[in-house]
Amino acid sequence: MKTDTIAAIATAMSNSGIGVIRISGEEAVEIADKIYRSKNGKKKLSSQKTHTIHYGYIYDEDILIDEVMVLIMRAPHSFTAEDTVEIDCHGGMIVMNKILETVIKNGARIAEPGEFTKRAFLNGRIDLTKAEAVMDLIESQNDYALKSSIDQLKGSVYDKITSFRNIIIHEIAFIESALDDPEHISLDGYPNELMKIVDQLLDEINRMLISFQNGKVLKEGIKTVILGKPNAGKSSLLNKLLGEEKAIVTEIAGTTRDVLEQYINLDGIGIHIIDTAGIRETEDIVEKIGVDRAMKQAQEADLILYVVDSSKPLDEDDFSIMKLMSSKKFIILLNKSDLNTIVSVEDLENLCKEDKDHYVIIQTSMKDETGIDQLEDAIKKYFISGKIDFNNEANITNIRHKEALSDSYESLKLVKKSIEDEMPEDFLSIDLMNAYSSLGKIIGQEVEDDLVNEIFSKFCMGK
């Protein structure tokens, strides 16, 4: 089927050393031929072999635009599996836009966001998990997210899902064959055999579902919320971790009245860190809104940094904060250790007996800059010690994948129940097919056009 030839600037929309204009479609080489002239003016791109690079110039009719290198990749051996031309030019915005305008004038149209990758998917070059991994790779903010994206791009999720589907379709085919030809294919004892297979699938799918929370943290960074009473040193802590003065620090209690979000790359670990308003009882309406928002952030946190002013006794506000941390992983920073301390490590340990496996206590002084190294080490241990596990290559980081896996899991549970209830084999076949179809949505085998369009609309232009 003939498709439009599309074009876009594939590099960042800013001045740079090099810019790339990508063209893909049946007329890609023909359009490039119209605007390209080799150094001697005789070489035609249409006569050149695939995967070759050519030096020359881009012209808009008789007007020279730029000196370029042109790469030719013929179908199906290109990212889109279509004829593709990439023009490497100087990276000025005016130059890149002028070349793109010339390409459009000669027969191409502007690509929609993600359309190159969408064509790669539609042409069978990549599956949907690999297409989504392309965008995740571009947006990676830490080493773990990068590794996960590369693993998915190499097929870690695709291979796993495909293996599940192969097992399921084999069992569906066997049941259907036995029902069609009972004289030659017996189902005696088969339910017990199927039960073992279903149990194994449920176990493996469940492991992938469990990986979603880790995968979400891996992709977005560990959501770390700083809590404490006013003037405990929360904003000072944020500034120390960032290495710059992002938060306003004063001796006036209640200076921070809203959440302040920043992203830190801590030795390859993404930390999405949030400074919050000091938690205390207050009549100030604006400050109360800030306190409410701090509590909401605490409920959604992966990790809480609880900053305690060790020079002042604990009170009801501290006890309220401790209730917020229940069932969360948290690190207590016993701050202002440079002053005369009233609150001790033992005091806090006695108050946190029930959470002994969920916290660490570190003595710090933002003034003397002590304890920051220990804090960073403690955060990293949540990743390295296995409390947050990133060793599974098939980590699920996409909510769409999780929902499809969940649907498949529920269908397989119905298969198991039908076996236990000794239901007819055609009941088993129906639920097995539902599980098979749900898994197919992940890799793009059972997906509607509207969903495909929505997924690729989130991609950047030129990718």
Q: How far apart are CA 313 and CA 297, in angstroms?
A: 25
Return the residue matching tokens 């490039």.
Answer: 32
- Domain residue spans of the chain: 6-124, 131-201+401-457, 221-384
Q: How far apart are CA 114 and CA 111, in angstroms?
A: 8
End-to-end CA distance of the chain: 22
Strand partners, 378: none
Return the residue matching tokens 């804090």.
Answer: 375
CATH top-level class of 6-124: alpha beta
Q: What strand order describes the sheet that includes 36-38?
A: 36-38, 52-60, 63-73, 84-91, 16-24, 6-9, 109-110
**Amino acid, single-letter form, for residue 337:** S
Task: Give the 3-state secondary structure of residue 307.
Answer: strand
Residues 6+ positions from 207 with CB-CB distance below 8 Å: 392
Residues 6+ positions from 3 with CB-CB distance below 8 Å: 25, 26, 82, 119
49 Rama class: left (phi>0) / alpha (psi -120 to 50) / beta: beta
Going by the DSSP 8-state scheme, the letter that residue 368 receives in this structure is T
Contact 258, 290 (CB under 8 A): yes
Segment 433-436 long-range contacts (CB within 8 Å, at least 24 positions apart): 433/172, 434/407, 434/408, 435/168, 435/201, 435/407, 435/408, 435/409, 435/411, 436/165, 436/168, 436/169, 436/172, 436/408
Return the residue matching tokens 């409920």.
Answer: 299
pLDDT at 323: 81
Integer angstrom CA distances of residue 224 from 170, 221, 227, 305, 308: 46, 9, 10, 7, 16
pLDDT at 212: 80
pLDDT at 389: 47
Token pair for 273: 């860190």
How does strand 16-24 pair with strand 6-9?
A: antiparallel
pLDDT at 282: 63
Token pair for 390: 């990133």
- In 123-278, which residue ranges form alpha helices assigned H by DSSP? 128-139, 143-153, 156-180, 190-220, 234-242
Kindly report the CATH number that applies to the domain delimited by 131-201+401-457.
1.20.120.430
Rg (CA), the chain: 29
Residues in the chain predicted with pLDDT less than 50, given as ranges, are: 1, 247-258, 385-387, 389-391
Q: How far apart are CA 118 and CA 131, in angstroms?
A: 8
3-state SS of the chain: helix, strand, coil percent to 5? 45, 20, 35
- 221-384 under CATH 3.40.50.300, yes or no: yes
Return the residue matching tokens 């035609």.
Answer: 44
**Residue burial 380-395, b: 16+ Cβ < 10 Å; e: rest:** eebbeeeebebebbbb
